[in-house]
Amino acid sequence: MTYFRQLVMSRELLFNLVSREVKGQYRRTVLGQLWSLINPLATMLVYSVVFGLIFRAGPPPGDPSGLDIYALWLMSGLLVWTFFARVVNQGLDSLVANANLIQKVYFPRMHLVLATMLSTAMTWCFELGVLIVALHLFGGFPLPWLPLLLVYMVLLALFATGVSMLLAIFNVHFRDTKHFVTILLQLWMYLTPILYPIQLVENAVGNKPWLLTIYRLNPMEHFVQAFRDLLYNNRLPTLGDSLWCLGAALVAFLIGYAVFSRSEKRLAELL
């Protein structure tokens, strides 16, 4: 029985793990799932004040949507990053956090990482739905782009899951991984045009275009731009961004899957 077939045959376990993650996320809180809305709104408010009002990092108006609201532009990219960061942060710790379960019974360990991604995706879809409503209220029209948006959501999920699977294995061998990743994600976020438009980077590099080429090797830059094109600008993402998203998703997931499936046999003794 191949490893992929084991994953398919034990899909009921995956559903139960996802349910456990969703129910346990806001257990014993008064507001419950409302925190999934409050948290991004609070983050958006802070960044909007700091970067939108103080530093004046205003992007150009949406083309062709005509939107010119920094908070909505910010959220169109920030939600992409928060999904990626949540999947990576929770996924890399999923094996260590479930060490007792792994040592007691055999099941495809990859379900632990997949469960964190799927539970995060459920919360994220709620946040994304609120953003889409807000965009419509202020004059945007992202609704016709929803079918294509789903495609890019799947690509983003594959990319985040692939990175998460790879880091989860590293975290079993080297427990410092979690702390290094926390620092790395902070740097990665500020090196991605989420809080500021990429035009600022283009102006900063001046007559050194090779710096911009290096900057754009960041896969998350292309994911953020693709989602902004669909949600905020209401247009098709560029071919370059689309190919980057597809390539990054496939490479990251295939590498993560290969490393994880070959390493999981020794997880019980390593933990």
Kindly list the averaged pLDDT for each block of 10 residues, start to end, along the chain of length 271.
72 78 63 63 67 66 85 89 94 88 83 90 86 86 90 97 95 89 94 90 85 93 96 94 97 94 79 63
Q: Within 13 A of 202's CA, how many CA atoms are on the CB side?
A: 4
**Any idea how long the chain is?**
271
Tell me which H or E stretch contains 127.
helix 110-137
Q: The pTM is what?
A: 0.90
Domain count, the chain: 1
Please state, in angstroms and rounded to a whole number, the distance separating the CA atoms of residues 226 and 235.
Answer: 9
pLDDT the model gives residue 255: 96
pLDDT the model gives residue 32: 57
pLDDT the model gives residue 233: 93
* Domain carrying residue 91: 3-270
Task: Locate all alpha helices (DSSP H) within 138-238, ordered by sequence.
Answer: 146-173, 177-190, 198-205, 209-215, 219-228
Please state, in angstroms and rounded to a whole number, the distance separating the CA atoms of residues 140 and 143.
Answer: 9
